[in-house]
């Protein structure tokens, strides 16, 4: 513990400016003077890297490197002060601009540091170094490691040393992951063994060398596995090699970027380097933001490295946000503005404040942090008046219409509803609480009425009962057919006489496991959330609000159909739920109050042969039960020539038309297979329909950010959609997985309309939370997908990572035997299920679920994650350091932790500004630029990295 506190103290000193500073040259007594990533050439005989044979060559050495970067975490001692240039922005002549005189772009200050100018405080065990004579790296470490190598921008290498698995992921062509087979060197889960990996590119051939031996054995080049892959001709060369490693015990993540062939001009490269070193997950966005924030002339050559799409998106956002930025022509008396002010007033007065001077300054943005909620006896007249005013304004602003047909409560009713919601969301951020308070349920007089017509799944209707479930026997299914971990292996490729595998031949000669699914960074075997891909079709599908009408079966069905259309290349067009509801052959008074299921959805659209756009038949729940509208000539038919396909159950005569269903109870002895099936369907179709139980389990105050560990029920009452999945570490330090579920109860419910549940649930459950999964089996017909305009040559110059990139890197390295437990980071909460058993969930907030201030203070001991970043070029290292408050923060698309402050003492002020104004900028294409436009105080804060 003392050792860890020492590490944190040193890190704190170093990260004052968010970047570790050093010296421009090695100290006089340094004997390094070489590229910190160099591999020294050996005078002895080594393996020929191209053939694996021995000989005297100038190939990369296989001996231990004595000159590589050894500071795998942070330098020891106080950092040196950065040198202040005499003229920070001198006018110079920059090549590439026709000899024009330009001013170099002012950036947050970074200084250079030689690799041997500092000592290591604590090691990341996986070491890497740049090869001297080749474009490549050598990586060594213990066999229990997991790490990633990116040959930017074309190939990613995943190394699971523990499981003897190495995989290649080419970014060119439609290829999937490629397993490297026939390795003779194996770790065999032996923690005493160490590996050595050499990767480099020579004459357009990627060469991989792999060696495993005992920890104390003398290094040897005998029996090295050598693999060679021919790379097709690419539009642009490899520019850098990035190595990502982790120390889970001390909460350290390290990213190293070795520059091998940067073509970007120096002033432009300085910007991208700053973005990388400040932890940006979207370097292009940060790069573009920096150009705009620093008001660089639009004719500057650096704008050539911003994609056309990025320019269009940010220009569109600038037009939309223009009023917000300028503060002009804004209707300050609008109900929307008044509602925001009312919510601010409520959140400022609903807590008891143990005030200090600092508390007062931070009061507005820390509503739910270290504060105790007032009791009903302490409810004062000011807050009572504000609560009534709030509901009056919310009724005017809310588009769901829920408050038009439900009695609004008095101040006591509203107060009780609000307290219940806030208790379920401890430690939540300001902008999230502001959105939570837009849920009209908070104003209900009888809150128990809210859920009654939110359900609507019915399986007992005699007409559809025989079609509602496909009661599979697990023995009917071949598990290998649903094995989502099947990968393409390199032995599927043809080799030439020298054993070189040509990666360019695969796509023409082999079939992928699915014609629609290609593993990518937003949806793969471990993680899937296509809504994170803001440029993708599926991310355009919005959260729906069914209102006070039990049409969940329609909304779940239409979302599933829309994701299928996206996956097939049709693009997204919002379909009409009201048309389906009103074209049912049931009595009109049953539409909202007698449930149904997705089978009826298919029956209706097949019988009518029509599915219009939402804009042609807009949904308002009070209109449900009207006559079925006659399609007009100008209406678009989304159903088109779609056909329902028959599905024959294995080993049985019975068939279902248009759908397949899987009931979890039939997989109770093999839940792994059930999970594999769901994952495969989500990968191929974008979503699945899920039957779940909500009564006495889920309500208006449900916390969607945590992972809930809940039981299911014999009789489900609601239909929703599973839209993704991921991994998490529970409060016991165990590695687990969750489903990401989308509901149709509006954007302000749950986590922006979504919630998460553990895949397996508690061991004592008789029923899994996911009762049944339904997928449509349809033929949408043949379509022509418009060809995209060819991208500019710089479009893919910068890497973009998924928000979960760092989290998954950490997760795959984490073991339950680690001393590093996450019990200070992952908080637990309790919710009752229908049998009054406790439902545990892993909270995504920073505070424990309690009103007690002292208890919160005691438990608010969070273990931070430190992200160490290094950029190596021309024998110099630039270093960056980002501190995350918790592991869960590394999952976010954006983080205010990456805010930069020129004055280290004002970093908290910049971070707080980001938090306070996040609501205004969170939906902007470049939130960092949005924050920059809002921040007019001075030039101290820099937000492009967030």
Asked if 231 contacts 206 with a C-beta cutoff of 8 angstroms, the reply is yes
Rounded Cα–Cα distance for residues 253 and 445 (Å): 50
Q: Do 44 and 57 contact (CB within 8 A), yes or no?
A: no
d(CA 158, CA 813): 12
Helical packing angle, 552-567 and 671-685, nearest 10°: 60
CB 193 within 8 A of CB 214: yes
Of the chain, the end-to-end C-alpha distance in Å amounts to: 31
Q: Which of 47, 247, 417, 743 is catalytic?
A: 743
C-alpha closest to that of 48 among 239, 228, 232: 228
The answer to whether residues 247 and 270 touch, using CB atoms and an 8 Å cutoff, is no
Of the candidates 347, 496, 515, the residue with the CA atom closest to the CA atom of residue 425: 347
Beta bridge partners of 627: none
CA distances from 924 to 1, 312, 325 (A): 42, 13, 12
Contact 548, 537 (CB under 8 A): no
Core vs surface per residue 612-643: b (16+ CB within 10 A) or e: bbbebbebebeebbeebbebeeebebbbeebe
Cα–Cα distance measured from residue 149 to residue 244, given in angstroms and rounded to the nearest whole number: 6
Neighbours of 426 (CB within 10 A): 20
Residue 111 and residue 22 in contact, taking contact as beta carbons nearer than 8 Å: yes
Q: Within its chain, how far is the Cα of 198 from the centroid?
A: 30
322 is catalytic: no
Give the orientation angle of helix 283-293 with respect to helix 927-934, to 10 degrees: 20
718 is catalytic: yes
Alpha-carbon gap, residue 211 to 196, rounded angstroms: 5
Rounded to 10 degrees, the C-alpha dihedral 911/917/920/921 comes to: -10
Q: Where are the beta strands (DSSP E) in 204-285?
A: 205-214, 225-230, 240-247, 252-259
* CA separation for the pair 143, 163 (Å, rounded): 9
Angle between helices 381-397 and 411-423 (to 10 degrees): 80
Distance, in Å, from the CA atom of 874 to the CA atom of 877, rounded to the nearest integer, reads 8
User: What residues contact residue 923 under an 8 Å CB cut-off, 6+ apart?
Assistant: none
User: Beta-strand (E) ranges in 75-154?
Assistant: 92-93, 101-102, 127-130, 135-142, 146-152
Selected catalytic residue, list 250, 288, 718, 907: 718
For the question of residue 133 being annotated catalytic, the response is no
Name, in order, each residue with C-beta under 8 angstroms of 187's C-beta and a sequence gap of 6 or more.
143, 161, 162, 163, 164, 193, 195, 212
- Active-site positions read 552, 718, 743
């Amino acid at each position: 513990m003392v050792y860890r506190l020492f590490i944190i103290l040193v890190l704190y000193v170093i990260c004052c400016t968010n970047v570790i500073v050093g010296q421009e040259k090695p100290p006089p007594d340094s004997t390094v003077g070489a590229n910190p990533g160099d591999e020294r050439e050996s005078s002895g005989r080594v393996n020929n890297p191209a053939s694996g044979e021995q000989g005297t060559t100038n190939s990369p050495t296989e001996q231990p490197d004595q000159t590589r970067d050894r500071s795998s975490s942070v330098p020891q001692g106080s950092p040196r002060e950065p040198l202040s240039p005499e003229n920070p922005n001198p006018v110079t002549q920059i090549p590439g601009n026709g000899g024009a005189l330009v001013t170099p772009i002012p950036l947050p200050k970074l200084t250079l540091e030689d690799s041997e100018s500092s000592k290591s405080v604590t090691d990341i065990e996986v070491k890497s170094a740049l090869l001297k004579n080749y474009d490549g790296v050598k990586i060594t470490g213990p066999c229990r490691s997991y790490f990633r190598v990116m040959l930017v921008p074309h190939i990613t290498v995943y190394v699971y040393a523990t499981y003897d698995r190495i995989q290649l992921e080419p970014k060119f062509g439609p290829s999937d992951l490629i397993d490297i087979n026939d390795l003779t060197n194996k770790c065999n889960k032996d923690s005493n063994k160490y590996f050595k990996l050499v990767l480099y590119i020579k004459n357009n051939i990627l060469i991989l060398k792999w060696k495993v031996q005992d920890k104390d054995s003398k290094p040897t080049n005998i029996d090295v596995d050598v693999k060679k892959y021919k790379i097709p001709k690419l539009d642009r060369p490899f520019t850098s090699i990035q190595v990502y490693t982790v120390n889970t015990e001390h909460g350290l993540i390290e990213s190293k970027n070795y520059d091998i062939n940067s073509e970007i001009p120096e002033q432009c490269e300085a910007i991208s380097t700053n973005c990388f070193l400040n932890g940006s997950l979207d370097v292009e966005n940060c790069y573009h933001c920096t150009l705009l924030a620093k008001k660089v002339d639009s004719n500057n050559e650096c704008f050539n490295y911003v994609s056309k799409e990025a320019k269009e998106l940010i220009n569109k956002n600038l037009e939309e946000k223009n009023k917000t930025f300028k503060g002009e022509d804004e209707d300050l008396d609008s109900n929307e503005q008044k509602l925001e002010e009312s919510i601010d007033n409520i959140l400022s007065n609903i807590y008891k404040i143990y005030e200090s001077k600092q508390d007062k300054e931070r009061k507005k943005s820390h509503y739910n942090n270290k504060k105790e909620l007032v009791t009903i006896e302490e409810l004062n007249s000011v807050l009572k008046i504000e609560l009534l005013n709030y509901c009056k304004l919310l009724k005017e602003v809310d588009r769901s219409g829920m408050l038009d047909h439900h009695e609004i409560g008095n101040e006591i009713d509203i107060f009780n509803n609000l307290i219940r919601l806030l208790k379920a969301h401890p430690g939540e951020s300001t902008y999230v609480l502001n959105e939570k308070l837009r849920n009209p349920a908070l104003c209900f007089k009888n809150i128990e009425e809210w859920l009654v017509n939110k359900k609507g799944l019915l399986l007992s209707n005699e007409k559809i009962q025989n079609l509602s479930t496909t009661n599979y026997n697990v023995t009917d299914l071949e598990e290998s057919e649903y094995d989502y971990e099947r990968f393409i292996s390199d032995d599927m490729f043809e080799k030439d006489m020298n054993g070189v595998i040509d990666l360019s031949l695969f796509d023409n000669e082999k079939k992928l496991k699915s014609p629609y699914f290609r593993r990518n960074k937003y949806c793969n075997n471990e993680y899937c959330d296509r809504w994170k891909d803001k440029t993708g079709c599926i991310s355009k599908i919005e959260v729906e609000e069914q209102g006070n009408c039990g049409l969940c079966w329609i909304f779940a069905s239409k979302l599933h159909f829309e994701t299928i259309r996206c996956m097939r290349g049709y693009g997204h067009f919002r379909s009409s739920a009201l048309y389906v509801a009103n074209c049912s052959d049931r009595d009109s008074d049953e539409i909202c109050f007698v449930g149904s299921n997705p089978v009826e959805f298919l029956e209706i659209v097949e019988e009518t042969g029509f599915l219009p756009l939402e804009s042609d038949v807009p949904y308002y729940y009070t209109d449900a039960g009207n006559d079925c509208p006659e399609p007009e000539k100008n209406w678009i038919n989304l159903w088109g020539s779609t056909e329902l396909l028959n599905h024959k159950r294995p080993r049985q005569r019975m068939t279902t038309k248009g759908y397949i269903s899987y009931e979890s109870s039939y997989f109770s002895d093999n839940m792994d297979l059930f999970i594999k099936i769901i994952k495969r369907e989500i990968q191929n179709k974008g979503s699945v329909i899920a039957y779940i139980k909500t009564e006495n389990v889920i309500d208006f105050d449900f916390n969607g950010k945590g992972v809930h560990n809940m039981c299911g029920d014999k009789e489900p009452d609601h239909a929703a959609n599973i839209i993704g999945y991921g991994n998490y570490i529970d409060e016991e330090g165990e590695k687990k997985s969750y489903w990401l579920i989308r509901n149709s109860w509006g954007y302000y419910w749950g986590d922006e309309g979504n919630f998460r549940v553990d895949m397996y649930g508690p061991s004592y459950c008789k029923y899994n939370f996911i009762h049944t999964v339904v997928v449509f089996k349809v033929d949408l017909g043949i379509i022509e997908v418009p060809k995209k305009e060819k991208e500019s040559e710089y479009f893919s110059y910068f890497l973009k990572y998924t928000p979960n990139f760092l989290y998954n890197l950490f997760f795959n390295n984490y073991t339950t035997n680690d001393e590093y437990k996450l019990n200070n980071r992952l908080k637990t909460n309790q919710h009752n299920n229908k049998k009054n058993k406790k439902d545990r969930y892993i909270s995504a907030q920073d505070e424990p679920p309690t009103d007690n201030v002292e208890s919160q203070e005691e438990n608010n001991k969070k273990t931070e994650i430190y992200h160490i970043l290094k950029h190596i070029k021309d024998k110099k290292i630039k270093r960056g350091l980002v501190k995350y408050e918790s592991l869960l923060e590394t999952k976010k698309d954006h983080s205010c932790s990456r805010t930069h402050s020129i004055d280290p003492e004002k970093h908290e002020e910049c971070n707080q500004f980001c938090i306070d104004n996040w609501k205004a900028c969170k939906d902007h294409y470049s939130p960092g630029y949005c924050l920059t436009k809002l921040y007019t105080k001075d030039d101290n804060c820099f937000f492009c990295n967030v």
